[in-house]
Chain A
Amino acid sequence: MSECELPPQTNDAPASSENRRGFLFAAGTTLMAIGGVLVAAPIIGAAVAPGVLPEKDQWISLGAATNWVAATTVLIKFRNPGGAPDDGITRENACYVRCIEAGKFQVFAVNCAHLGCPVEWFSQSRLFMCPCHGGVYYEDGSRASGPPPRGLFEFEWRIREGQLEIHSGRLPGLQEGT
C-alpha cells in the first residue's frame, strides 16, 4: 500500500451502526458550521463595521460668522467630531475658510483632490499648491494645473446662531462628491 492510499473500509458493520456514523458525521458538520458562523459573525463584524455602519458626520463650529474678513482665505484648525481617546493629535484637523464677502463662504479641505496630500495656500498668488505631485488650485478651489482630476473638496457650511459651522467627520475623497 502506498502512503497516499486510504485504509480499506470495513463493510461488516451492522446497518444501524452505519446510520449512527452517518448521523454523527452530519450532526458534527452541521454543529461545526453553526458554531463557526456564530463565532465568525462578531469577529468579522467588528473588523468591517466601519465600512457598513452609519457615519458619524456632525456639524461643528468654526467660530462666529462675523469673524471673517472679506476676500481672505485662512487656515482654520478644528477637532474631528466623534473621535476616540487615543486619537492623539490625529484628532486635530484643518480646513481653509475663504470669506468671499460677509456671510458668503467657501470651506475647503486641506487634502489635494489628487491623492490627499496637504495643499498650502499662498495669499500673494492666490493659489493652493500641493507639494506631492504639483497640483495647483485657484482661490475658488477650481483646478488650475497638475494631476488633480477636480477642484478642491469643499465642506458643507451653514450659519446657525451666529456661528459658521461645517459638516465634518469624513476624510474627503473622490467618491464623496463634495
Chain B
Amino acid sequence: MLPTGLKRVALHGVQWLDDRTGVMWVLRHSMFHRVPISAKWWYVFGSATMMFFTVQVVSGIVLAMFYAPSAAQAYDSLVYINEQVPCGWMLRAIHGWSSNAMCYMMLLHLAQVFLHGTYKYPRELTWLFGVGLCILTLGLAFTGQIMRWDADAYWGLGIGAAIVDRMPMVGNQMRAIMLGGTEISGATLSRFFALHVFILPGTTVALIGLHLYSVLRKGISEMPKAGEVVDPATYTKGYEARVHKTGVPFYPDAARRDMVFCGAALIALVGVAAWFGPMGPGGLPDPTIIEASPRPDGLFLWIFAALALLPPGSETFLLLVGPPVGIALLAALPFISPRGERAPSRRPLSVLIFCTIVTGIGVLTWLGVASPWSPVMNAWTSTPIAPAFVVGRTPLELQGALEFQFAQCRNCHAIGGTGGMRGPDLTDVATRLSWDQLVRQIQQGGGNMPAYGKTLSSVETHALAAFLSTLDGGSLRAAIPGAMESQQQIDAAPTPVDSSTTSDAR
C-alpha cells in the first residue's frame, strides 16, 4: 500500500497528465470501449497480426544497425550478422519467421472476416483499410526477400522486372523506375531498402491507425447467427443497444484472449526461430553463376507455380490484369454485398468461393514445392540409370542408355522413379509407344518436348530408340502390336551411317 501522501502525489500527477493530454478520454474510448460479449477466440488473429508487425518493426530497427544496404556489402553483412553479431543469428531468425507469422495471421484474420461477413454495413471502410494492409503486408514480405540479396533475391527481381516489363506502352519505363536503372544493381537494392524500411512500414502504421479507428468508431462485429440479417436501416441502432446492454469492456475482458493467444504465438515464434534458424542468405547474387534454380519464399510459391501453368497465350493478360481485378473485387466486396445474412451456413456461395481459393492456392503451393515442370538440371550427371534397366541389354541398347544420359533426356524424364518430371516417366514407355512413334518423338519432339532431329545423329537416335523399346515396365514388352516387328525390321536393315558430326562436346 502506498502512503497517503504518495497516493495524493500520484493522483495529482495523473490528473495533470490527463489535463494536458486527454489520455483518459483516449483510454476510455479505446482500451475500455465496449465490445460484444460474443467476440471470443475467432477475434484474436487481428491482434496477433499487429503484434507480429510490432516484432518486425523492433527487430528490423536493430537489424538496420548491422545491415549494409549496399549491393557490394549486403550479403557479407548478413553473413556477419549470422556469425559474428551476438544474438544476430536469432535476431534474423525472429525477423524472418515473424514475417511469415504476420502474413499467415493476416490471412487468417482476412478469412475470418470474409467468412463471418464482417465486412458488411457499416464496416466498409474497416474492410478497405484491411485490404490495404493485406497488400502492404505481402509487399513487406516480398521486399524482405530482396533484402537477403542472394541468388533467389537477384533472380526474383529478374522475374519481377520481366512481369513489369510486359506492361504495354510504359513497361520499359516502369521497369527502370523499379530497378533504379536498366540493370539489377546497387540502385535496385537501395530502392527496395527504402521501400522495405520506410515507405511500406510507414504506410502500414498509418493504415493500422485508420483500421483501428474504424474498428473503434463502428465497433467490433458480433459473432454471426443464422437468421440475423444486416439491414442498414436498423443495424446500427440494434448493435449499439445490444453492446450497451450485454457488451464488455475490451480491456480486460476481451483482451484476455488476445493476450493468451499472442503470448503463446510469441513463444511459438521463438521456438520456430531457434529450431529453424535464419532464412539465408543462400547463393551469391552473382549473375554469372547461371547454375541457379531460383525459388520464391513459401508464401509466393503458388504464384511461381501459376506462372508455369498459365496458358502462354493469355499469360501476359492474366499477369497484368489479374492482380488489379482481384484487388478491386476484394475492395468492392462490402459494396457488392452490403446487407443480408452473415452466418457462413446461410452464405454457401461465399463459402464455396473461399474453399475454391484456398484449395487453388494450396494445390498451387504444393505444385510449387515439387515444381514438376522444372528440368532437374544435373540429373544427367547425378542420376544414373538403375542397373535393373540395363542388365541383359545388347550393346546397341546400352549405347542408347548412354545417349539417354548424355543428351540430357534424364533432366526431364524419370526412369524407375528417378530423374526429371517435366516429361512422362519412361519406365514403361515401350508399352505406350511403338518403335516408329519412339523415333518420331525423338526426332520431331512435340507435346512440350524439343525436337532432337538436329541434335542426335540417326545412329544415336537408333540406339536411343533401341534402349527405350526395352523399357516395358517389367513384363509388358509386346503390349504395342507391331512394335517388335518394326524394330526387328530396322535391326535387320543395314545400319545407317551419318557422316555429320555429333555433338561438339564428344
Contact = CB atoms under 8 A, between A and B. Distances in A.
B452 A125 contact: yes
A131 B292 contact: yes
A174 B181 CA distance: 17
B180 A50 contact: yes
B166 A83 contact: no
Which secondary structure dominates chain B's binding surface? loop
A55 B70 contact: no
Which secondary structure dominates chain A's binding surface? loop
Contacts of A92: 286-288
A117 B158 contact: yes
Interface in A92-124: 92-94, 110-111, 114-120, 122-124
Contact of B162 (A88, A115, A122, A138): A115
Interface string A66-97: 00000110010100100111111111111000
Contacts of A146: 373, 448
A51 interface: yes
A42 interface: no
Contacts, number: 216
A124 B159 contact: no
A93 B373 contact: no
B184 A171 contact: yes
A34 interface: no
B71 A116 contact: no
Contacts of B188: 90
Contact of A123 (B154, B377, B445, B503): B503
A55 B308 contact: no
Given A86-B186, A89-B284, A124 B155 contact: no
Given A51-B173, A84-B187, A174 B377 contact: no
A71 B165 contact: no
A80 B179 CA distance: 14
A173 to B, nearest CB: 4
Given A50-B179, A125-B455, A147-B315, A173 B159 contact: no
B224 interface: no
Interface string A166-177: 000111011110
A157 B26 CA distance: 69
A147 B71 CA distance: 31
Contacts of A91: 185
Nearest to B69: A86
A87 B186 contact: yes
Contacts of B293: 131-132
B177 A47 contact: yes
Contact of B308 (A85, A122, A147, A171): A147
Nearest to B186: A86
B369 interface: no
Interface string B178-200: 01111111111000000000000
A72 B505 CA distance: 9
A96 to B, nearest CB: 9
Contact of B287 (A47, A52, A94, A174): A94
A171 B179 contact: yes
Given A80-B183, A89-B284, A120-B377, A171 B503 contact: no
Interface in A26-57: 47-48, 50-52, 55-57
Contacts of A116: 155, 158-159, 161-162
Interface of B: 70-75, 154-155, 158-159, 161-163, 165-166, 171-177, 179-188, 284-294, 304, 307-308, 310, 312, 315-316, 373-375, 377, 380, 406-409, 411-412, 422, 445, 448-452, 454-455, 503-506
Given A50-B179, A51-B172, 7 more contacts: A50-B187, A117-B155, A127-B455, A131-B374, A147-B312, A176-B165, A176-B172
Instruction: Please name the 9 residue pairs, one residue from A and one from B, whose CB atoms are nearest each other, closest first.
Output: A88-B72, A173-B165, A144-B450, A116-B158, A51-B173, A86-B186, A118-B290, A51-B177, A116-B162
16 contacts: A47-B177, A50-B176, A51-B177, A55-B182, A84-B187, A86-B72, A93-B287, A118-B289, A118-B294, A125-B450, A133-B308, A134-B374, A144-B451, A169-B183, A171-B179, A176-B172
